[in-house]
């Protein structure tokens, strides 16, 4: 039954958006290893399925995720953490080439905040709660909270969150650049995220993938190399039918029909 499923997959009405809902409500969606394995498996399925054009990751309208599973971690020893490469599989999301929209309501703490930051586009409710409270557990963020957070919000705000455990709401997260949109009071964050994902799903697949690749390159590469990669991808798109179609449609004042070629 769906009560036993740690991640519930569903589709948008158009069938183009795979919606992955974290489902451990009694533990505020604490990210246990089995939950992460389930999420990775669903992400791989969505990546391999040609009908899926974009992915939404959410915990629903109440809670995103209150962090890695503290009860699972509490007795962990260094040898086990190291030899089993604890948290190593969390990076799987970063290798997904389809666009991922995160929808955050309620807590996105610790690993939950880090999971949110692994999404390409992030949408939150105004009252969502983002934070890296690891310091209060005697640890630090382990899945990007010190790296991705810093590049999103800047050093002094990242230090503030990581060293004091300061929590911020969705509106502040938008102001700081951690999320790109906040919902209106009472609006469904999942529906908003699906709308954004549907918008992306309405464009040509090749250009969408190239856009994601190019933006991600800016996080890893020095400017000159990033610009070169962008220019090469841009030039290569002139070999696609979608470029011909997109520009012809503009000139002919009609809607383009994408062929994904
Ligand atoms: C395991 C958790 C959990 C977590 C909540 N629960 N967060 N279990 N791991 N991260 C469980 C609680 O134990 C409780 O279970 C149930 O969920 C409901 O939580 P309550 O605490 O009763 O709810 P509430 O009083 O509303 O407080 C909500 C909360 C608090 C403020 C979010 O739960 C909290 O502080 N959680 C921990 C947040 C945190 O420190 N996250 C960072 C984790 S470290 P029972 O069985 O008692 O009902 C981390 C490291 C990442 O993420 C490293 C890289 C991945």
Closest by CA to 191, choosing from 73, 63, 19, 45, is 19
Q: Is 231 exposed, middle or buried (0-12, 13-18, 19+ CB in 10 A)?
A: exposed
Catalytically annotated residues: 68, 111, 114, 134
Q: Is residue 2 scored above 80 in pLDDT? A: no
What is the atom index within ligand 1 of the atom nearest the CA of 107? 32
Least confident window among 3-7, 103-107, 130-134, 201-205: 3-7
What mean pLDDT is predicted for residues 89-94? 90
Q: Judging by DSSP bridges, how do beta strands 7-11 and 17-22 pair with one another? A: antiparallel
> Which ipTM was obtained for this model?
0.98
Mutate to test the pocket of ligand 1, among 23, 24, 35, 66 (most ligand atoms within 8 A of CB): 66
Q: Model pTM greater than 0.80?
A: yes
pLDDT at 185: 87
Residue 79 phi/psi, 5-degree rounding, is: -60, -40
Closest by CA to 36, choosing from 194, 127, 125, 143, is 143
Please tell me the distance between residue 1's alpha carbon and the centre of ligand 1 in angstroms.
Answer: 25
Closest by CA to 54, choosing from 78, 18, 23, is 18
Q: What is the pLDDT of residues 97-129, one digit of tens each?
A: 999 999 999 999 999 999 999 999 999 999 999
């Amino acid at each position: 039954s769906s009560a036993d499923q740690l991640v519930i997959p569903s589709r948008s009405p158009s069938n183009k958006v795979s919606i992955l809902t974290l489902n451990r409500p009694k533990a505020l969606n604490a990210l246990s290893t089995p939950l992460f394995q389930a999420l990775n498996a669903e992400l791989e399925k969505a990546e391999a399925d040609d009908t899926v054009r974009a992915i939404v990751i959410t915990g629903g309208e109440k809670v995103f995720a209150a962090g890695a599973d503290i009860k699972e971690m509490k007795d962990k020893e260094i040898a086990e953490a190291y030899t089993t490469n604890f948290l190593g599989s969390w990076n799987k999301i970063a290798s997904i080439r389809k666009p991922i929209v995160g929808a955050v309501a309620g807590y996105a703490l610790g690993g939950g905040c880090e999971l949110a930051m692994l999404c390409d586009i992030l949408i939150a409710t105004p009252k969502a709660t983002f934070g890296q409270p690891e310091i209060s557990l005697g640890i630090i963020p382990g899945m990007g909270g010190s790296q991705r957070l810093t590049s999103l919000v800047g050093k002094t705000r990242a230090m503030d969150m990581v060293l004091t455990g300061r929590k911020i709401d969705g509106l502040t997260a938008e102001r700081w650049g951690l999320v790109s949109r906040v919902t209106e009071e009472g609006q469904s964050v999942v529906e908003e995220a699906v709308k954004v994902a549907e918008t992306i799903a309405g464009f040509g697949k090749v250009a969408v993938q190239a856009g994601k690749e190019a933006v991600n390159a800016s996080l890893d590469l020095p400017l000159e190399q990033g610009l070169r990669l962008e220019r090469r991808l841009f030039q290569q798109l002139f070999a696609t039918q979608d470029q011909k179609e997109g520009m012809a449609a503009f000139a002919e004042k009609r809607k383009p029909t994408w062929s994904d070629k």
